[in-house]
Structure 1
C-alpha cells in the first residue's frame, strides 16, 4: 500500500529537502498548540448511543465547566469530569470528559468548555438515528466505484517466472498511491497478511444480501449489488485453473520500468517473488467467502455480473477443495497460523450457508476448534503454535467475527457454548487491556513482541499502536481498519452472546462505549482533531500527491501512529515531514473503507440486522 516513494525513500528525501516547489505541496502536521481543545466525533453520532467529548487542557489550574448546545441553544451544563493523568502523547496536559449520551433529540450539537479565562468550542456533530450509515453510507460505497481498476492491459498479464499470461482485469486499486491489486500482501512475514480486495468483495456481497433492507431504505441497493458483482467477477478471473487465487497484481507501486504482473513481493523494495498463490490467510479464505455470498446474492436478486451465481459458487467450492489440500504449501513458512484459521472459517460458514452441505459444517467445526485452541486463559489469542501474541493492523476483530458467524450455523448446543465462551472471554480481554491504563480516548490497546533477527521474540509488551520493529521490516502505518474491525467485533460478538443493554446498539455501556470510541477516533475525536474519512468532518488529512496519491471522497486515510523512531510504537505521530514517508499516515487504503462500511452497517438498527 506504499507509493513509489517507499522504494526510493532516501533519494526522494534528498529531493524533497532540495526542492522548494515540492515542499509547497507537502504538509507537516504536529499536535495542535492551543492550550484548550475539545475533540468530538465530527461526522455523526447515534441518537440513542454513546456521545463523549474529550477535553485537553495545558493551562493553569481552575474549575472547568461545560455547556452542551443543540442547534446553537444550550441544553445541558455541568462541571468537567477529570480523567486519569496521561502524559505519553502530550506531557503537561490534563484531560477531561463530557458525556452527553442522554441528549437524544435530533440536531447539530456542540460542546463549549471554559477553564479560567480559556474558552473552546468543539466542531458540530450531527445526531440522528442510524447516524453514521445515513450520513456516510452512500460515499463509503461510492469509494469502491471510484477505486475501480479498468486498465485493459490487465487482461493479458504475465505470471512471474513463468511463460503464462492470464486475464486479471477488474477489481479495485489498492490505495491512493498504488494501482496494484491485492487479495493480500505481506505474506513473507507470515503473521501480517491483511484481507484486502477479497474482504471488500465479501463485505459488499454480505451487505447487499444480508442487509438488503438497510441499503434499499437509503436507495443504495442497486449500487451495492453492482459493486458486489464487480468484486466477484474479479475473483473469478484471478482463480487459476489449478484452483488457487492470484494474490497480487503488482508493479512496484508504479516504479518506472517495473513490469506489471501477477507476482508476490517482499519488503520495502518490492522484490518480486513466487509467493503469488493465495493461502487462506493471503486472501484465499475471504475470496471463497465472497464468492459463496455473491452466489446467494445472485439467487436472491436474479442479477449477476459478467459471470453468474452458479459460476461464483462453483469457483468457491473448487477453490476451497484446492486449499483444503494445498494451503500450507502456499505460506512462506509452510505452517498454518491464526489468520488461516479465521479466514478458512469464514469461507466454510459461507459455503455452508450457500449449499447446506454437512461437510462444510464438519470442516468448520475443525477450524473453529483450531482457532479456539489459540486463546489464552485471559482471552487473548496467540498467532502460532507457540507464544507469539496475535496482533494485527487491519483486522484484529476478525477472530471474534468469524466465531460469531460459526455460532450462527452450529446446531449442537455444546459446540455453540464453547464458541460463546471464547467470544465472551475475547471481548472481556479487549475491554480489560484497553482500560487497564490511563487512556483518555479509549483507544484499543494490543499485545505484541519486537523482532530479533527477523522473528518475534522476547518480552510480550503492550501499547496503543503497532510496533515499528516487527517481522515485515517496514510496515507499521495507521490503524483505521483495525479500529473499525474491533468496533464491529464488539457489537457482533456481544449480540451473539445476547448481552443486552440500553447504552446504544442494544449493548451494555462498557461495550457500546468501546465500539463507539474506535469509530470516534477515525471520525475526528483524536488528539489531532482530524477526520480520516475524506469529505466528512471539519478537518481532513492533507493531499500529498508525491507520496500518498489521490484522495477520494469516502476514502479513509491510514491514520495516526506511534512516534517515528519508536521501536515499540510509543508516543504519537501524524504526517511529520515533509518527506516521502507521509503515505504512512495520509494514504487511503481499501481495507479502511471496507471495515468502516461493515462496522456502520453492523451498528444500524434496521430489521435486516
Structure 2
C-alpha cells in the first residue's frame, strides 16, 4: 500500500468500530499502553475446533464450502448443514491432506454443500469426538447474485466516502518546476492516506499497481455494460455518478503535453511535508521527478477509463463536469503521447509486462469507443507481446528474461486484458491464439495452487527473491508475496490480488469451451478456484475474519494512527506471510501492536475496486 511506512506511525486502536465488537473478536487482544493509548494484537484462534465459512453471502448456483480446523487425535467427525436452524444435510467430514505450513498440529476437513440451493440462511454444525463447533451464520438467504445484492451498494458507497474534495488541490505545485496545476477531485488512496495515486512503487518497475485509474475504469465499465444488474438494485445512477467523478479527475490530471500525473503526495500526511504532484521512492517517501505516468504507472488504465466513460456518456445521456467528447479526446491524445514516449516514463527506461497488459486494455477501449482500425492494429501488437512473455506451463515472466510475473494487487489482469482483446479480434487465428494463452494461464493458476496441500485453496504464486533491488536466484513458489522484493520495504495483504484472480478465472474461463456444471458459466475446478479467492476475503480464512468492513461476524480492528479510517464497503489489506520471513512463508495478521499494522488492517482502493469487478463478473455476462 502507499501509506504509512513503518518508521512513521504509532498504533492506536479505536474499539468503537461499526459492525465489530470486542466480544466477537476472541483472537484480538486489547491492552493499555504506558501512554494510556489502546493497542491491539491479533493472533490465530486457538479453539480446538473451528468451522470457517463465507460470512457474507452464498450464491445459489455457486460452490459452497466450509473448512474445519481441528486440534486433536480423533480422525472422524460429522457435519450438519442447517437452513434457518433446521438440518437439511448431514454426513461424514471429508479429511483433507496434511498441512502444517501455517502451524503444526491441526487436521483439516471440508464440508461441501454446493447443492444447497433453496432460499434460506445457512450455518454448518460440526462434531468431532466430544467437541462441537458452529460456523458463523450466513446472514442473508441464498439467492442468485447474492454477493452483489448484499454488498453492491456499500462497495459503491466506499468510493463516494473516499472522495477527496479539499480545495487546496486546485492549485498544486509540480515537483522541481515553477508550474502549478489543478488536481482536484479523485479518491483518497487508503484509510490512512489522503494522497491520490494512479499508481505507486514505479521505482521498483514490476510492482506498479493500478489504483485510481483502475477504479475509474471498473466503475465506467460496470455502469456501461452491466446496466441491468445495477438497475435491478437501484444503483445505476450511483455507479454513473462515481464513474464520471473518476473520469473528471483523470481529465484534470492530464497534462497539456499528454501525460497523466502519477501521484498527488504529501509523504503520507507527514507534518511539514508539502503536498504536490510528484513521484516518490522508498519507505522515506523521497520525492522524485517520476511523476509522468507510463502505461504501467496508471496511464494505460486511465486511457481505458476515459474511453469507456465516453461510451457511458453516449449511452446514458449523462456526463460529469466534462462531457463524453472531452473524455474521448483526452483518451486519444494521451494514447498518442504514450505511444511515442512511454519508455522514457519507465523508471528503468524499458517496458515490461505491466505496460503490455495496461496498454492492451487502453487499446481495446479505444477500439470500442472509436471503431478505428489503428487501435486494433496496435492491440494485436500488444497482445502478441504479452503472449510472448508466457512460459510453457502458462505462467508469465515480467521482463525479457526469467523474472516470474507476480503481483500483489492485479495478478489476474493479464488474463482479463487478453479476454478483452479476444472480444474485439475479428480474425479467427489471432483470436484463437489469445484464447489458447488464456487457457494456458488459467491452467497454470490451478496447477500451482494445487501443487501442495492447500485446505483453503489460496492462490499460490511463483517469485524470485532480490538482492540490491534486483531479482536473483531460483524461482520459488509460495502462498504470499515475498517480503524481500525490489521495493525495499513494501509488502502487505493481498485482498485485491485474490479478487483479481477470481475475476480472471470467471472472465477468462467463460471464453473457453467447457462444461458449465458449477455456476458462473464454468467447469467445477474453475468455479471452485474463483469462489475460494473471494471466500478468503469474506471470512473463510484461518482467522475467521471478513476483510470487507461492515459485513460478516468479525472485521479487522480499527488502528487509527497506523491504518486510519475504516469505511463500510472498504476492504482491508488482509493476511500475509509471517513477519521476518523473506519468502513470505508462514502466516500473520496484525501481529502488533506496532507501526506496521497498516500492512494488514488498512483499507486500500484496489481491494474494493477488484471486489466490485469480481462480483460483477460473478453475477453474469455483460452486455455491450
In the alignment, structure 1 residue 545 sits paired with structure 2 residue 560:
yes
Matched with 1:81 is: 94
Runs of 4+ in 1 over 6 A off after TM superposition: none
Shift of 1:607: 6.8
Distance between the aligned counterparts of 2:305 and 2:598, measured in 1? 29
Distance between the aligned counterparts of 1:12 and 1:351, measured in 2? 46
Matched with 2:77 is: 64
Matched with 2:490 is: 475
In the alignment, structure 1 residue 513 sits paired with structure 2 residue 519:
no
Instruction: Describe the SS at the equivalent of 1:529.
Output: coil
Shift of 1:20: 2.8
In the alignment, structure 1 residue 206 sits paired with structure 2 residue 193:
no
Distance between the aligned counterparts of 1:265 and 1:140, measured in 2? 29
Matched with 2:59 is: 46
In the alignment, structure 1 residue 20 sits paired with structure 2 residue 34:
yes
1:377-431 Cα distance to aligned partner (Å, 9 max, x none): 0000000000000000000000000000000000000100111110000000000
Length-normalised TM-score, structure 1: 0.98
Q: RMSD across aligned C-alpha pairs, in angstroms?
A: 1.4
The match for 1:30 among 43, 55, 60 is 43
The match for 2:115 among 95, 102, 106 is 102
Matched with 2:374 is: 359
Matched with 2:6 is: 6
Assess if the C-alpha contact under 8 Å between 2:570 and 2:604 holds in 1.
yes
Shift of 1:453: 1.6
Matched with 1:384 is: 399
Instruction: Describe the SS at the equivalent of 1:97.
Output: strand
Matched with 2:134 is: 121
Matched with 1:93 is: 106
Distance between the aligned counterparts of 2:212 and 2:468, measured in 1? 31
C-alpha distance 114-176 of structure 1, shift in aligned 2 (>3 A): same
Shift of 1:353: 0.1
Assess if the C-alpha contact under 8 Å between 1:4 and 1:255 holds in 2.
no
In the alignment, structure 1 residue 461 sits paired with structure 2 residue 476:
yes
Instruction: Describe the SS at the equivalent of 2:395.
Output: coil
Distance between the aligned counterparts of 1:114 and 1:562, measured in 2? 31
Matched with 1:179 is: 194
Distance between the aligned counterparts of 2:399 and 2:483, measured in 1? 20
C-alpha distance 319-606 of structure 1, shift in aligned 2 (>3 A): closer
Shift of 1:12: 7.7
Distance between the aligned counterparts of 1:355 and 1:234, measured in 2? 22
Distance between the aligned counterparts of 1:69 and 1:471, measured in 2? 48
Assess if the C-alpha contact under 8 Å between 2:7 and 2:595 holds in 1.
no
Length-normalised TM-score, structure 2: 0.95
Distance between the aligned counterparts of 2:298 and 2:282, measured in 1? 18
List aligned pairs for 1:390-405, cutoff 5 A: 390-405=405-420
C-alpha distance 546-5 of structure 1, shift in aligned 2 (>3 A): farther
1:533-592 Cα distance to aligned partner (Å, 9 max, x none): 000000000000010000000000000000000000000000011011100000000000
Instruction: Describe the SS at the equivalent of 1:502.
Output: coil
List aligned pairs for 1:139-538, cutoff 5 A: 139-538=154-553
Assess if the C-alpha contact under 8 Å between 2:31 and 2:40 holds in 1.
no
The match for 2:596 among 581, 589, 593 is 581
Distance between the aligned counterparts of 1:378 and 1:183, measured in 2? 32
1:419-448 Cα distance to aligned partner (Å, 9 max, x none): 111000000000000011000000000000
Shift of 1:18: 10
Assess if the C-alpha contact under 8 Å between 1:6 and 1:269 holds in 2.
no
C-alpha distance 562-520 of structure 1, shift in aligned 2 (>3 A): same
Shift of 1:4: 4.2
Distance between the aligned counterparts of 1:406 and 1:498, measured in 2? 17
Instruction: Describe the SS at the equivalent of 1:201.
Output: helix
Assess if the C-alpha contact under 8 Å between 2:465 and 2:472 holds in 1.
yes
Distance between the aligned counterparts of 1:20 and 1:289, measured in 2? 51
Distance between the aligned counterparts of 1:489 and 1:500, measured in 2? 18
Instruction: Describe the SS at the equivalent of 2:58.
Output: strand
Assess if the C-alpha contact under 8 Å between 2:5 and 2:284 holds in 1.
no
Distance between the aligned counterparts of 2:512 and 2:304, measured in 1? 23
C-alpha distance 522-436 of structure 1, shift in aligned 2 (>3 A): same
Shift of 1:499: 2.8
Assess if the C-alpha contact under 8 Å between 1:292 and 1:354 holds in 2.
yes
Distance between the aligned counterparts of 1:224 and 1:496, measured in 2? 26
Shift of 1:63: 2.0
C-alpha distance 12-301 of structure 1, shift in aligned 2 (>3 A): closer
C-alpha distance 222-449 of structure 1, shift in aligned 2 (>3 A): same
Q: Which runs of 5+ in 1 are unaligned?
A: none
Assess if the C-alpha contact under 8 Å between 1:67 and 1:74 holds in 2.
yes
Shift of 1:506: 1.5
Instruction: Describe the SS at the equivalent of 1:314.
Output: helix
Assess if the C-alpha contact under 8 Å between 1:395 and 1:481 holds in 2.
yes
Matched residues, number: 605
Assess if the C-alpha contact under 8 Å between 1:2 and 1:177 holds in 2.
no
